[in-house]
Amino acid sequence: FDQAITHSKLYDSDIRRLVSTGLSTEALFFELAIEDLTRAAELFAPIHERTAGVDGWVSLEVSPLLAYDAKATVREARALHEKAHRGNLFIKIPGTREGGPAIEEAIFSGVPINVTLLFTRDHYLAAADAYMRGLERRVEAGLSPDVRSVASFFISRWDKATLDKVPARDRDKLGIAIGQQAYAAYRDVLDSDRWQRLANCGARAQRLLFASTGTKDPKASDVLYIGALAAPNTVNTMPEETLLAFGEHGRVDGVIPPGGGDSEQVLAEFGRVGIDIIELGARLQSEGAKSFNDSWQDLTKAIEAKSRAFK
């Protein structure tokens, strides 16, 4: 939305129409977003129905300014879910420490959640735990546990952050190893007694989603993270140019082994050359939240400027 609203005239007529309603800048944006995403949800509805809710989803994020305010995040997630009124719309909530209680509460409320800004295995496990807590509360309350979720795990920023800090032999390997480690944790969760109890009650798995899978290093393959992160029951939200490139010359030679392949050995090598995975993961999450905030500020400023021009 930031690029489309700020750098084009695609939304100008809609902004002009909504300015007269007296909505705040944030409310005006969500009107635009919900109009677009409900149309997208309708287009994907046949896929959603045909796959029994597995595929055919779209996502709308809460204000990134709420990333560290759990109660406000839950309020906004519920409000957006009710306003959109589409069964195949995820609400995005950042997987920060403060996001955990918000994810649990939103799931308990029946709101499908896309957990974003996950960078480490511990981030993923915290998101999975919050999801299962919400489902367990629903089961205890006599409610259906069939509330869907994905856990969005960010990949390419790892390699961008370490590109000039590691030997040439280690470049562009960290993101894949981190993703494979997360997949091993995902399989462990699905094999756990805790998850099996929920599945027996009718719950569906929170799928692991690999995000930020466009290659940042111009010297690396433009489909670096696609074949390497192929795995059953996962999602890869690649940019359009990456999708087209993979269709042209990509290949899948196998899938991630359930135990994560050689990810632990690769991560140990990065530790030996001075990369602190825990510290870097925390920094990437913090920087990701700030980047979302900055984009949000740019977006609201653009809407404010256009709103003034159209009055």
Does some domain include residue 93? yes
Is there a single domain that holds both residue 19 and residue 89? yes
> Above 90 in pLDDT, residue 1?
no
**Which candidate, 251, 265, 256, places its Cα nearest to that of 180?**
256
How far apart (Å, rounded) are the C-alpha atoms in residues 213 and 216?
A: 9
Does some domain include residue 149? no
Q: Which pLDDT score, from 0 to 100, does residue 173 have?
A: 98
Is there a single domain that holds both residue 201 and residue 102? no
> Above 90 in pLDDT, residue 187?
yes
Q: What is the mean pLDDT of the segment spanning 248-264?
A: 96
How far apart (Å, rounded) are the C-alpha atoms in residues 310 and 102?
A: 37
How far apart (Å, rounded) are the C-alpha atoms in residues 80 and 74?
A: 10
Structural domain harbouring 53: 1-115+279-311
Is there a single domain that holds both residue 266 and residue 171? yes
How far apart (Å, rounded) are the C-alpha atoms in residues 220 and 226?
A: 13
Strand ordering across the sheet containing 113-118: 58-61, 89-94, 113-118, 149-154, 207-211, 234-236
Q: Which pLDDT score, from 0 to 100, does residue 22 have?
A: 87
> Above 80 in pLDDT, residue 311?
no
Q: pLDDT by residue (tens digit) across 274-301?
A: 999 999 999 999 999 999 999 999 999 9
Q: Which pLDDT score, from 0 to 100, does residue 207 have?
A: 99
Q: pLDDT by residue (tens digit) across 28-70?
A: 999 999 999 999 999 999 999 999 999 999 999 999 888 888 9
Phi, psi of 196 (to 5 degrees): -60, -35
Does some domain include residue 168? yes
Does some domain include residue 59? yes
> Above 80 in pLDDT, residue 135?
yes
Does some domain include residue 148? no
Is there a single domain that holds both residue 35 and residue 79? yes
Does some domain include residue 147? no
Decide: residue 218, CB within 10 A, 0-12 exposed, 13-18 middle, 19+ buried.
exposed
Does some domain include residue 146? no
Query: Which domain CATH number covers 27?
Result: 3.20.20.70
Q: What is the mean pLDDT of the segment spanning 65-88?
A: 93
How far apart (Å, rounded) are the C-alpha atoms in residues 91 and 114?
A: 6
CB contact at 8 A, 184 and 263: yes
**How many domains does one find in the chain?**
2
Is there a single domain that holds both residue 101 and residue 167? no
Catalytic positions: 92
pTM of full prediction above 0.85: yes
> Above 90 in pLDDT, residue 3?
no
Is there a single domain that holds both residue 101 and residue 181? no
Does some domain include residue 138? no
Is there a single domain that holds both residue 10 and residue 85? yes
Across the chain, what does the average pLDDT equal?
95
Is there a single domain that holds both residue 3 and residue 50? yes
With cut-offs at 50, 70 and 90, classify the pLDDT of residue 269. Answer: very high
Residue keyed to tokens 């367990």: 136
* Interhelix angle 174-191/263-272, nearest 10 degrees: 130
Q: Which of 10-14, 204-208, 237-241 has the lowest mean pLDDT?
A: 10-14
Q: Which two tokens stand for residue 27?
A: 């409310």
Q: Which pLDDT score, from 0 to 100, does residue 62 have?
A: 93
3-state secondary structure the chain: CHHHHHCCCCCHHHHHHHHCCCCCHHHHHHHHHHHHHHHHHHHHHHHHHHCCCCCCCEEEECCHHHCCCHHHHHHHHHHHHHHHCCCCEEEEEECCCCHHHHHHHHHHCCCCEEEEEECCHHHHHHHHHHHHHHHHHHHHCCCCCCCCEEEEEECHHHHHHHCCCCCHHHCCCHHHHHHHHHHHHHHHHHHCHHHHHHHHCCCCCCEEEEECCCCCCCCCCCCHHHHCCCCCCEEECCCHHHHHHHHHHCCCCCCCCCCCCCHHHHHHHHHHCCCCHHHHHHHHHHHHHHHHHHHHHHHHHHHHHHHHHHC
Which residues are bridge partners to 209 per DSSP?
Answer: 152, 235
Is there a single domain that holds both residue 83 and residue 9? yes
With cut-offs at 50, 70 and 90, classify the pLDDT of residue 218. Answer: very high
Is there a single domain that holds both residue 207 and residue 254? yes
Is there a single domain that holds both residue 159 and residue 269? yes
